[in-house]
Every structure is written in C-alpha cells, then in structure tokens.
Amino acid sequence: MKSHKLGMSEQQRQRTEAEVRDERHTLGTWTRQRDFEPTEVVDTEEFRFVTADGDSILDFSSQLVCTSLGYDAERVEEAVADAVREVPYTQPGNSTRYRAELAEKLAEVTPGSLNRTFFSTSGTEANEAAFKIARAYTGKEQIMSRYRSYHGATAASLSASGDPRRTAVSSSVQPGVPGMVKAPDPYAYGSTLDPEESLEYIDEQLMLEGDTVAAVLVEPLVGSNGVLTPPDDYLPRLREIAHDHGALLICDEVMTGFGRTGEWFASDLYDVEPDIITMAKGLTGSYQPLAGTIVTEEVAEYLDDNLLNHGHTFSGHPVACAAGSAAIETYREEGLVENARDVGEYLEEALEGLVDRHPSAGERRGIGLHQGIELSKHPDERVPFEERIDKVSERTTVVDEVAERAYDNGVYFYTSMSTIVVTPPLGVTESDVDEAVAALDDALEHSDAKVEV
C-alpha cells in the first residue's frame, strides 16, 4: 500500500480542510503528487491512531516500523517537555547531560565494544556517516551492499540501496555515487540462489575488487525489501569474510534496532559484534527525529588522531537526545524487548495459521515482532503477486488492496513489495494480536480470490 492512501472509502469521502491545505502546499514523499492524498490524523491512544473521520485504527506496522513505544510513552513525553524548556538547543561542540546520558546508554545496550556514537537525525544520515568513517578508518573507498536492501534516500545511502527506488527511471539517482558494489542476498523464497552460495560469491567479489572495499553494509534482517531472514550462520560468516578482506561490517539496524526482534539489536540474535551499527526509528520510539552511528572503541580511537570530516547543525540535539534516553529507560523498565520476544512467538504462530488457511499467503518470515507474510499468486511455484518495480509504479497492487481491506477492518499494515509487514509496537498483547490477525484473515480472502492455480 502506498503509505499515504488509507482506506477503501478514500475516493468517496469528503476531504478535510487540513488535508486540502496540506495537499496544496506539501510535496508528498515517494509519490506522484497527483496521488498524494494524505489522511488527517487527529489523535493517538496507546497503539491506535484516530483519523479526522473518527476511525480508531490499530497500528500493526508501528507506522513505518518506528513507533515502537506506541503513543503513550509518558516518560518520553515528559523528558521532551523538560528538555525543551531547559536547553532547547546548543551547538554540537557543546555538551549536555541529555547527549551524555544517551551516548552512555547506547554503549550499554549495543553489542560488544561498540562505544562511541555520532548523532544525526535520520537513518539515511546515520548510514552516510558510517560510510565516511569506514572509508577514513580503512583507507579504502568502496562500499558493498546487497540488492534486496534499503538504506535511505540521500545520495550515497540510496546508491547503496538495491531497492527499486534506486533503479526507477525517474528516481533522479542513477548512476548514483561511485564506489558502490552490489552483492547477492541470502534469500531463499522464490529465488534460485542458494543462501550458502551468496556468501561464497561475496567472498569472491571482495577478492576480485582487489580488497578495495571499506565496508560491507547489510540489514541483518531485511525490512522494507520484504522482511527477509538469513540462515543462522550467515551474519557471523559474513563478518569473517569481510574482515578477511580488510573490510568493516556495518549493520544497518535502523528498522531492527531497539528490541524489534526480541533482542536489543538483531546482531545479538547471531552473537555478532559489527564494527559499526546505524540506528534511528526506535531510538526515540519516533517521539523525536534522531539517529546514531555507533562505532567500536578501536574505530573510535583511530578517529582520536584523524579528522572526522562530518557534522550537522542538529547533531546531538538536546531535546531529541532526552527523548532517546527516556525511550531506552522505557524499553528497559517496561520489559519491552522481552515482550517482543514472547508476544512475537504468539504472533508467529498466528501468522503461520494464516499461511495454512490462505492459498495466497505464500510464506511467513521474521523474528520477534519483525514479521511479514509474502503473498503469492502461484503458491506452489512461489510467484509473488507484484514485481519489485511495482513499489514505484502507478499500479494498485493486490497487496495494497489486502492492506486496504484490513484497514477498513480497523487495522493498519504497511506493505513492501509483495509482503504485508507485521511490525506492531513492542508493548502489544496477545489480544491485540488476535484483533489484528482477525482483520488480516478476512482481508486475505481478497488475494485468495486472485490466486492462479
């Protein structure tokens, strides 16, 4: 579903005054402006958002996989209000207790010796910083990433992405920034490539590139390119291969960080210490725009004597850092990471039930509360309903229609390619899962009717 279009009744209903003014003066993201029809949200409560029409919608994708704390995180709300009164802004060369506290907490919750963080405001900026740091540290220039990936909208991050948003003719991106090498993915469903072979290929590519690659960049569990999980030994082996060729491992945990998979970071699922982790979204539960690029002490020490040629006006913004610090306290004190693991198991079972019952539900994938169901028009032959390029095409896709029917049933799901993304806030209960799965159960009848057998 194009994220701006919510609800089957969108065409018939009267536009609100705010929607009309908004459309007149705002350029919408990732859309032809003719199709930009935003729905006015007027209120939020716990895990629901309320539209101007009075619909209260259970949010089972955490918006864009980012509102991991739901909408009533009081500790974060108060921290933001206090900080905005005390130190609304100071330049990044100054210190605040908000940034100090957050940086210290990040060193605690991230794996291994990851210790010092560069702060920015969005996931794409976190990746841009990671590229510069990896290049400086290794003295090498290239960045290797995979085809089924999204790393952000700015020049280098989108060039590193394999997403159709990079290759679309009108993307204004191609040929992209130089020095980006693309590698295959460990993706089994509907692909002829053996996951094992993809690692061997990467090994060979790094050698053939003459060991000029500064970093291998991956989402440990792929998000907006279809919720993909690698084999268990994939990430540890990838780290080894990268290091054998003198490259760092950057894990883009913008989507998977902060408990989503039932561990603080998806890297923890595989006991891997990346050289760099990039993060955003869940870092503040999206109460403030904030991102981070955390590096190992070894990489940080290199920067002690070498220029970090990078910065932003809003780096380490005090109000955003206060939100980040309070968010981490909330994850900890409410046991949200553990809840994601426990309720994640319940959700996984319920989604497997949908796959058993619905011919169009091809495969469930994911870990914890990072789940998705890929829809197939030929389940036996594993043919997805949509082409990858449909992500940027004008076509209304079957997966969008399924999400729209679920929305009409009162539950919001984000879609990605042929996949219904099921990534609720981390505090959801089994009864929230029951409600969401019932809405999806009904909606999948729409795609079942389109299965070609």
Sites of contact with ligand PLP (CB under 6 A): 64, 122-124, 150-152, 219, 223-224, 252, 254-255, 280
Question: Considering beta carbons, is residue 39 or 124 the nearer one to ligand PLP?
Answer: 124
The alpha-carbon radius of gyration of the chain (Å, integer) is 21
Please say whether the beta carbons of 289 and 132 come within 8 A.
no
When the beta carbons of 152 and 285 are compared against ligand PLP, the nearer one is: 152
Rounded least distance, CB 224 to ligand PLP, Å: 5
**Sequence-separated (6 or more) residues with CB below 8 Å from residue 136:** 302, 303, 306, 307, 308, 309
Residue with smaller CB distance to ligand PLP, 161 or 330: 161
Question: Minimal distance in Å, beta carbon 151 to ligand PLP?
Answer: 5
Sheet hosting strand 411-412, strand order edge to edge = 41-45, 48-51, 56-59, 411-412
Q: How far is the CB of 198 from ligand PLP (least distance, A)?
A: 19
Instruction: Please enumerate in sequence order all residues whose Cβ is within 8 A of that of 404, keeping only pairs 6 or more positions apart, or say none.
Output: 1, 5, 6, 7, 8
Output 266 or 295, the one with its CB closest to ligand PLP.
266
Comparison of 254 and 299: residue with beta carbon closer to ligand PLP = 254
Ramachandran bin of 251, using left for φ above 0, alpha for ψ from -120 to 50, beta for the remaining angles: beta
Report, in Å, the least distance between residue 146 CB and ligand PLP: 11
Dist CA 40 CA 33 (whole Å):
17
Interacting residues of 311 by C-beta distance below 8 A, sequence separation 6+: 92
Angle CA 446–148–129, to nearest 5: 130
Can you tell me the distance from the alpha carbon of 300 to that of 296, in angstroms, rounded to the nearest whole number? 6
Nearer to ligand PLP, 39 or 416 (CB): 416
Residues with Cβ within 8 Å of 259's Cβ and at least 6 positions away in sequence, in order, are 68, 282, 331, 336, 337, 340, 368, 426
Nearer to ligand PLP, 124 or 142 (CB): 124
Tally: H helices and E strands in the chain: 15, 16
Question: Residue with the closest Cβ to ligand PLP?
Answer: 123
Sign of the alpha-carbon dihedral angle for 211, 215, 221, 226:
negative
Q: In terms of CB distance, is 223 or 384 closer to ligand PLP?
A: 223
Give the residue with the Cβ less far from ligand PLP, 274 or 379. Answer: 274
**Helix (H/G/I), strand (E/B), else coil: 355:** helix
Q: Which residues of 299-327 are buried (b: 16+ CB within 10 A; e: fewer)?
A: bbebeeeeeeebebebbbbbbbbbbbbbb
CB closer to ligand PLP out of 59 and 252: 252
**In the complex, least distance from residue 123 CB atom to ligand PLP, rounded to whole angstroms:** 2
Quick check: 299 and 133 in contact, CB under 8 A? yes
d(CA 238, CA 202): 8
In the complex, least distance from residue 288 CB atom to ligand PLP, rounded to whole angstroms: 12
Q: How far is the CB of 131 from ligand PLP (least distance, A)?
A: 12
Shortest separation between residue 438's beta carbon and ligand PLP, angstroms: 28
Q: Smaller CB distance to ligand PLP: residue 145 or 330?
A: 145
Least gap, CB of 149 to ligand PLP (angstroms): 7
Closest CA to 393 of 37, 36, 30, 28: 30
- End-to-end alpha carbon distance in the chain: 25
The contacts of residue 399 (CB under 8 Å, 6+ apart) are 1, 375, 385, 386, 415, 417, 418, 419, 420, 447
The CB-of-20 to ligand PLP minimum distance in angstroms stands at: 27
Q: Quote the least distance from Cβ 35 to ligand PLP, whole Å.
A: 20
